[in-house]
Amino acid sequence: MISRFWRGWTTVANADAYENLLRTKILPGIHRVKGYRGAYLLRRNVADGVEFATLTLWESLDAIRAFAGEEYDVAVVPPEARKLLSRFDERSLHYETIVEPE
């Protein structure tokens, strides 16, 4: 299994709207990609707003390519998300998952 890690930051005023977008549109859309195995959505307050981190779980790099394209490390940030984010990681990080919850 491969874990894909990405972060984005938003203002306090936009944080709830961004979280709602992730929960209702973005993450449900990813469920349709073959090889997707779930996600963790993390949120924390920081000095300049709110940081979100996503950790998505994938069967393989091929599954990630089906989601993100050949340049699979480039962040996938839909236009409606970009409107709410003040900044974000341009690239996602990928890790071999060696321990999983039971």
44 found inside a domain: yes
46 within some domain: yes
Domain count of the fold of the chain? 1
Q: Is 41 within a domain?
A: yes
Average pLDDT over residues 86-90: 97
Find the mean pLDDT for residues 33-48: 96
Q: Phi/psi at 89 (nearest 5 deg)? A: -65, 130
Please check whether residue 101 lies inside any domain of the structure. Answer: no
pLDDT score at 101: 82
- Domain range spanning residue 14? 2-96
pLDDT digits (tens, 9 = 90+) for 41-87: 999 999 999 999 999 999 999 999 999 999 999 999 999 999 999 99
Whether 16 is covered by a domain: the verdict is: yes
- Cα–Cα distance, 10 to 82 (Å, whole number): 10
- The pLDDT value recorded for residue 102 is 84
| In contact, 5 and 92? CB cutoff 8 Å | yes
Is residue 102 included in any domain, yes or no?
no
Q: What is the DSSP letter of 74?
A: B
pLDDT band for 100, please (50, 70, 90 cuts): confident
CATH number at residue 41: 3.30.70.100
Nearest-angstrom CA–CA distance, 61 and 59: 7
Residue at 13: amino acid letter: A
